[in-house]
Amino acid sequence: TTITAADIDGVKSTDNVEVTIKSGEYENVNAEIAGNKVDITAYELSGTDAKNYYISDASINQMDGFISKKPITLAWAEDSYEYDGTEKSVTATPSGVISTEDASAVVTINYVDDSETSHTATNAGNYTAKATVTSANYELKASEPTATFDWEITKKVIENNL
């Protein structure tokens, strides 16, 4: 992150000064926390007028930061089953989740059948699954067409040898 002179208290707005944040740690690592303080551990002061300034350690560590939600996409699996009397379900695997986090905890799937919501379906019919991002740190990418997925359990064909 680079901060220009216009955004730095105490720097003349006409001076050419930039502060580039090289590394730092947030007080809270979750997204969209208002007033989230950042402990800056490395920075660089640059620009043609930088020689006229220095940054006190106390002021650099009082910065507010903001973490945006990470956009993810979904890959839906298995959209058609043949009826066999057992419960069926579809899954949505999120892509773009940070590798140290459990991807299965980021998205919850519900199955919507008219006004009824359940987690599985057994009978032949058409169903709609809806994915909900349950982690406050993620959101579906704007380019993601939809969080819903149509799937079906087809009727089993009976061979009649009469």
Task: Give per-residue pLDDT as tens, 42-80.
Answer: 888 899 999 998 887 655 666 778 888 999 988 888 889
Residue pair 37/26 in contact (Cβ under 8 Å)? The answer is yes
How far is 94 from 150, CA to CA, in rounded Å? 17
3-class DSSP state of 150: strand
H-helix segments, the chain: 57-60
71-123 confidence digits (pLDDT tens): 998 888 888 999 999 999 888 888 889 888 888 788 887 766 655 555 678 99
* pTM summary value: 0.65
